[in-house]
Amino acid sequence: MSEHSTKSGIAALSICEALLLALNDAKVLPEREIVGVLEDAARSHENAGGSNTEIEEHEAVATLINKIIAGGNSVRRP
């Protein structure tokens, strides 16, 4: 992956996490719905196919999303 792609991915992740926090803070989506969105995203990568390299990338993305869920980064927890 190029340096530009990596930076773009990090920026996109930061924006998405900020949006999820804002949706939760504004009481648009409760925590369980936000976690559900993240779980759906992880599952789609866990079930993705492709070449061995693509599968490894999808597995890495799913692992990262699952770490975000476990760490609570996208919801404010007391």
Cα angle for residues 37, 74, 61 (degrees, 5° grid): 65
The pLDDT tens digits for 2-53 are 777 889 999 999 999 999 999 999 999 999 999 999 999 999 999 999 999 9
Do residues 5 and 13 lie in contact, with contact meaning Cβ atoms separated by under 8 Å? no
CA atoms lying within 13 Å on the CB side of residue 53: 1
The pLDDT tens digits for 48-76 are 999 999 999 999 999 999 999 998 766 66
Show the DSSP H helices in the chain as ranges.
3-25, 31-46, 52-71
Q: Which residues contact 42 (CB under 8 A, 6 or more apart)?
A: 61, 62, 65, 66, 69
